[in-house]
Amino acid sequence: MTSRSPTTALLLGLVITLATVVAYSWYISEQISGLRRLQTELTDRNRRDSLQLLRIQNDLNQLALAMRDMLDAAEPYPLTAWSTQFDRIRLDLDAALKQQGEVALARQTPQQREFLATSLNQFWNAVDRIFELARTGNEAEARAQIQLSLQARQAALSTAVARLLVQNNEAEEQTAQQVQDIYRRVQRQVYWFLAATLAAIVATSLYLIRSNRQLFARLASLSDERRELAQTLISTRESTLREISRELHDEFGQILTAIGSMLGRAGKHAPEGSSLRSDLREIGEVAQTALDNVRGLSQTLHPSILEELGLVSTIDWYLSTVEKQLGIRVTLDTQGTPRQVDSTKAIHVYRVLQEALSNVARHSGTDQASVRLRFDTDRLVIDIEDHGRGIDAGTARRGLGLVAMRERAAIVGGTLDFLRPPQGGTLVRLSMPL
């Protein structure tokens, strides 16, 4: 059964999430920047508009004070003496109105601007007539016009400017409220975006967890299948070796034994000192050597002494043959009280020992090793140690022989560790329950 890898879907989700985050971040940034510019522009224009209206109102107040002084009978100056002050205020008012018109917001209606301009124009026409009357000697009539007409016009202008100031204040409050509404709307959008992003992350994480669980479950299943296969192969191998060993020992051993016996009897019938008797004796020696080799090969393939003498005696016998077979000297140290080990488990311990000593002979670069057997209350621990080059960590994971050693350790319910002793080299430790 094949399963599709989640990598493509995860990468696609990651790209979409990142693209969404970048796009929305840019959108929010533009919204906030535009809002900040709008807020700054409106606030600045409203402030300058208010300043110009205050300037106009101040000029109108100066006109009101001047007209009050003009009506004061105790003043020694003629009315024409205030014409210069009125001209200065008129210039300042014109400049203030011009600047106010440039910064005034669109919410100021054309009728309001037209009313202000018309009223101010009528006011100055009335001022011109009053000063004309004063210059022609009609100061009493001029003062009457100031009291009846000019002050009323000035009061109307002041009221209009005050109304515009109040309107500016109200507009400023409305602008602040609108800005706050926009901020709240942007904030809500950010919260929605964060919620959507978190939901996408949670969905992606759940998908990843589910995919990983399926993947690890599949790996665990494959690992179990591989282990079962490896253990089956090991068991089949041991069964095959046992059969071959039995065939060698029983069939070929008996045949060679019979041949040696027949050669011995034939040699007795040959004349003493004849070449035939010498040849038969030589053939008998060859047959005996072949018989010894067959028996040795049979014990190597499957040591029958495991069933007869037990694990400790088998290891002791095997180590006595290692120097001849592998060219290394091995010492044995047994600790604790030896106990009987089931032969189906003992064969796997024996194979681990064989493979470990074979690795010492092939890879360590040393001709000495030590084996320690320790019988605890409920465990058997066997250490195979050398002080050679040591084993590489990568090799310990990938070597076929080492993989077989691990599988054998798993079959007997034990653990296999590859350690590095303080003196250097390699320490292979098999620990199994008894």
Alpha carbon distance 4, 211 (integer Å): 9
Q: How confident is the model at residue 121 (pLDDT cuts 50, 70, 90)?
A: confident
Instruction: Look up residue 1 and give its two tokens.
Output: 């059964």
How many other CB atoms are found less than 10 A from the CB of residue 341? 22
**Alpha carbon distance 313, 329 (integer Å):** 18
Mean pLDDT of 202-207: 81
- pLDDT digit string (tens) for 363-379? 888 888 999 999 888 88
- Return the residue matching tokens 């879907």: 9
How far apart are alpha carbons 343 and 303 in whole angstroms?
10
Secondary-structure breakdown of the chain: helix, strand, coil percentages, each rounded to the nearest 5: 75, 10, 15
Cβ distance 389 to 364 under 8 Å? yes
* DSSP-H helix ranges across 342-399: 343-359, 393-398
Distance of CA 56 to the CA centre of its chain: 66
Q: What is the DSSP letter of 327?
A: S
Residue with tokens 């018109």: 101
Question: What distance in Å separates the CA atoms of residue 310 and residue 339, rounded to the nearest whole number?
Answer: 9
Least confident of 157-161, 184-188, 291-295, 404-408: 291-295
Q: What is the mean pLDDT of residues 97-125?
A: 76
Name residue 418's beta-bridge partners.
Answer: 428
Structure confidence by residue, pLDDT tens digits, 325-339: 788 888 888 888 888
Structure tokens at 190: 């950010």
Position 107 scores a pLDDT of: 55
* Sign of the C-alpha dihedral computed for residues 210, 212, 215 and 221 taken in this order: negative
3-state secondary structure of 86: helix
- In contact, 90 and 56? CB cutoff 8 Å: no
One fold for 7-208 and 304-433? no
Closest CA to 60 of 142, 135, 164: 164
Side-chain-side CA neighbours of 8 within 13 Å: the count stands at 3
Structure confidence by residue, pLDDT tens digits, 414-431: 889 888 888 888 899 999
Q: Are 184 and 176 in contact (CB under 8 A)?
A: no
Q: Nearest Cα to 160, choosing from 106, 126, 122, 119?
A: 119
Confidence tier at 394 by pLDDT (50, 70, 90):
low
Chain-centre distance for alpha carbon 404: 37
DSSP per-residue string spanning 258-280: HHHHHHHHHHHHSPTT-HHHHHH
On the question of pLDDT at 172 being above 70, the answer is: yes
Residue with tokens 């990598």, as numbered in its chain: 7
Per-residue confidence (pLDDT) for residue 431, from 0 to 100: 92
CB of 148 closer than 8 Å to CB of 16: no
Q: Hey, which bits of 315-434 come out as E strands?
A: 329-335, 368-375, 379-386, 415-419, 426-433
Cα–chain-centroid distance for residue 314?
55
Mean pLDDT in residue range 214-220: 83
pTM above 0.85, yes or no: no
Tell me the pLDDT of the chain averaged across its residues: 79
For the chain, domain boundaries? 7-208, 304-433
**CATH 1.10.10 for the 7-208 domain, yes or no:** no
Alpha carbons 61 and 92: distance in angstroms, whole number: 13
Torsion of CA 70, 72, 76, 80, to 10 degrees: 10
Q: Which two tokens stand for residue 415?
A: 């653990």
What class, spelled out in words, does domain 304-433 have in CATH?
alpha beta
- Confidence class for position 1, pLDDT limits 50, 70, 90: very low
pLDDT tens, position by position, 53-107: 888 889 888 888 888 888 876 666 788 888 888 889 889 888 888 887 777 664 5
